[in-house]
């Protein structure tokens, strides 16, 4: 298609978008709400899947040492841990090393906690011989003196999966409903555009415009509606995810796991939202064109 034709279609589609005013606004809002939910849902599910993978393959038990434990007591603890039958290795990691790891994973924001401000514990990282033994090792370690906590993945996994299963079900239902509302609203604005341009369409047909030519502006109007609807959720989710990521980073690292880091992950979600937005718009436009733009 030559440039001047594309330009004409784009101009045309923006004109009707503007002319439809509040109808367009309602359609854009519906898309925005739908995509917001989709974005949150995606961020949640993808991270949960990531975590459960990390957890399932994890043979580690992280034994958090109480603050104020002396070096001698620590050595005694290490020996006891190493004596357990299911334990393969015991490695010491000081609070400062732990912090470095956090900073490495989550960026400089955590550098602020250096020195006395460091909220983390010294840790013995135990490797069990097999993933199935982590529960027994953690339980035994918890009984030993100077142990603040013994964390391992398995115990959280089950709960996590239950919660996620429920969320997935409800969110899918709600999203489907919102998707339909969004498509309906878009198809309705396109219907109005088609009606208001009936005379023009009649003349176009009379002088030999192809169907494709007649359809393009309506199709584009739908697509813009979807794209505009995607912009707000993208911005909000990008900001929101950065915020959640920084807030929760310390917790997750204490367990030895990481959330998906924002850069690539958010580009993926943004891409999905843009694509779904355009698809919703195209679907809405197509529905109305099928019904009201009969050849």
Partner 1 sequence: MIQFVDVSKKFQRKTVLENINLTVQQGEFVYIVGPSGAGKSTLIQLLYRQLLPSKGIIWVNQFDLTKMKPQGIPYLRRELGIVFQDFKLLPKLTVFENVAYAMEVTEKKPALIRRRVLEVLKEMGLANLRHRFPSELSGGEQQRVAIARAIVNRPSIVIADEPTGNLDPETAAGIINIFEAIHRQGSTVIMATHNHQMVDRRPHRVVEIVAGQIVRDQAKGAYHYAGIRH
Single residue of 200, 251, 261, 275 touching partner 1 by CB under 8 A: 200
Instruction: Verify binding: residue 203, partner 1, rule CB under 8 A.
Output: yes
Our finding on whether 84 is near partner 1 (CB under 8 A) is no
Tell me the window of 25-33, 166-174, 187-195, 210-218 that interacts with partner 1 (CB under 8 A).
Answer: 210-218
CB 253 within 8 A of CB 51: no
Q: Least CB distance from residue 18 to partner 1, whole Å?
A: 14
Q: What is the DSSP track for 33-94?
A: HHHHHHHHHHHHHHHHHHHHHHHHT--EEEEEEPTT--HHHHHHHHHHHHHSTTEEEEEEE-
What does the DSSP assignment read for 160-215? Answer: HHHHHHHHHHHHHHHHHHHHHHHHHHHHHHHHHHHHHTHHHHHHHHHHT--HHHHH
Q: By CB under 8 A, what part of segment 120-179 binds partner 1?
A: none
Does 192 help bind partner 1 (rule: CB under 8 A)? Answer: no
Separation of alpha carbons 24 and 190, rounded Å:
9
Q: Does 2 bind partner 1 (CB under 8 A)?
A: yes
3-state secondary structure of 145: coil
Q: Tokens at residue 281, please? A: 């718009």
Please identify, using beta-carbon distances, which residue of 8 and 168 lies nearer to partner 1.
8
Q: Distances in Å between the alpha carbon of 162 and those of 155, 177, 211, 212? A: 12, 23, 51, 49
x-marked contacts with partner 1 along 6-35 as a string, rule CB under 8 A: --x---------------------------
Closest separation in Å from C-beta 240 to partner 1: 45
Number of alpha carbons in the 13 Å side-chain half-sphere of residue 87: 21
As measured in angstroms, the least distance from the Cβ of 294 to partner 1 is 10
Q: Nearer Cβ to partner 1, position 10 or 232?
A: 10
Residue 112 or 203 having the CB closest to partner 1: 203
- Taking CB under 8 A as the criterion, the residue among 57, 96, 132, 211 binding partner 1 is 211
Residues of this chain that bind partner 1 (CB under 8 A): 2, 4-5, 8, 199-200, 202-211, 213-214, 295
């Amino acid at each position: 298609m030559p440039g001047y034709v594309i330009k004409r279609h784009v101009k045309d589609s923006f004109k009707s978008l503007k002319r439809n005013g509040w109808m367009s606004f309602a359609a854009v809002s519906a898309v925005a709400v739908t995509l917001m939910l989709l974005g949150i849902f995606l961020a949640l599910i993808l991270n949960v899947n990531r975590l459960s993978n990390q957890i399932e393959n994890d043979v580690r038990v992280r034994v958090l040492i109480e603050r104020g434990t002396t070096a001698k007591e620590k050595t005694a603890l290490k020996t006891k841990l190493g004596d357990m039958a299911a334990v393969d290795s015991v490695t010491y990691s000081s609070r400062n090393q732990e912090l470095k790891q956090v900073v490495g994973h989550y960026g400089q924001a955590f550098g602020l906690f250096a020195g006395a401000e460091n909220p983390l514990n010294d840790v013995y990282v135990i490797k069990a011989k097999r993933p199935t033994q982590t529960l027994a090792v953690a339980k035994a370690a918890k009984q030993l003196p100077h142990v603040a906590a013994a964390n391992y993945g398995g115990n959280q996994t089950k709960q996590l999966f239950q919660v996620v299963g429920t969320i997935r079900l409800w969110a899918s239902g709600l999203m489907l409903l919102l998707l339909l509302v969004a498509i309906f609203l878009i198809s309705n604005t396109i219907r109005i555009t088609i009606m208001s341009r009936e005379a023009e369409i009649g003349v176009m047909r009379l002088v030999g415009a192809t169907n494709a030519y007649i359809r393009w502006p309506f199709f584009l109007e739908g697509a813009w509606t979807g794209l505009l609807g995607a912009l707000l959720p993208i911005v909000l989710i990008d900001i929101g995810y950065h915020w959640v990521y920084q807030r929760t980073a310390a917790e997750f690292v204490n367990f030895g796991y990481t959330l998906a880091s924002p850069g690539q992950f958010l580009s993926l979600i943004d891409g999905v939202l843009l694509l779904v937005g355009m698809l919703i718009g195209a679907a809405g436009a197509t529905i109305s064109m099928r019904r009201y733009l009969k050849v």
